[in-house]
Amino acid sequence: MRADLFPAPAVPRLPFLDRELAFPVHRIYCVGRNFAEHAREMGAPLERGTPVVFLKPADAVHPGGPLPYPPGTTDLHHEVEMVVALGRDADGPLAPGEGQALVCGHGVGLDLTRRDLQAIAKERRLPWDVAKGFDASAPVSALRHVDDGRPGPDTALRLEVNGVLRQEARLGEMVFSVDEVLGHLSRLFRLRAGDLVFMGTPAGVAALRPGDRYRAVLEGVALLEGRVEG
Ligand code: MN
């Protein structure tokens, strides 16, 4: 076997809450427009047809705490989202009802977005990568193992910035369920243990500025908090 020219990059990992276990990250899938009010605030028509999907690099995960303000933007936006973690590979396309069996944990994350660059991309019909897939663009909390508790339709998803509520919804308000999103993804990609899925954000997205304190909660399941650095 050939020797590597340089040490292979380390696999990004997330901790599990209350367990001496880590979750090695394979891919990060993100769903857009999964709450009707947020689709409306972005001026997008709500389509029940198929979920909007994009990806972030696995090493965009960030553990929270001090968060770097990214270069290339003057309009960094927060999108608080439930994050679903897959602990098993899918054999192929999933039938309805099969998705939940792959899920090993849940967390709360921020789908950080360079909104100014996304607006340009939308206007010019360009890819979203520079708006969505930058370094540390995917802060995710420690994960709650499914055997220690699962969120339900009444579970609240919430983001406070500097102690003021910015975003709040119940998971039951999602347009596409976890099962439907995993089914859709499984028909487009090979789902693997280590995949994370950001499930979409409720209304109330707005700017995060240097010095802001953020506190994202998936009620009774997960907590992500810290401060945006200058
Ligand atoms: Mn999002």
Distance 205 CA to ligand 1 centre (A): 9
Ligand 1 centroid – CA 106 distance (Å): 16
Q: Which of 49, 59, 37, 72 is nearest to 180 (CA)?
A: 49
> Could you report the per-residue pLDDT of 90-132, keeping only the tens digit for each?
999 999 999 999 999 999 999 999 999 999 999 999 999 999 9
Give me ligand 1 centre to Cα 97, in Å: 24
**What would the CATH number be for the domain defined by 13-229?**
3.90.850.10
Cα-to-centroid distance, 199 and ligand 1 (Å)? 7
The domain limits of the chain are 13-229
pLDDT tens digit sequence for 57-88: 999 999 999 999 999 999 999 999 999 999 99
Taking the centre of ligand 1 as the mean of its atom positions, its distance from the CA of residue 81, in whole angstroms, is 7
**Ligand 1 centre from 147 Cα, in Å?**
27
pTM over 0.75: yes
Nearest alpha carbon to residue 18 among 196, 154, 141: 141
- Match 């605030």 to its residue by tokens: 41
CB 197 within 8 A of CB 82: no
Distance 10 CA to ligand 1 centre (A): 26
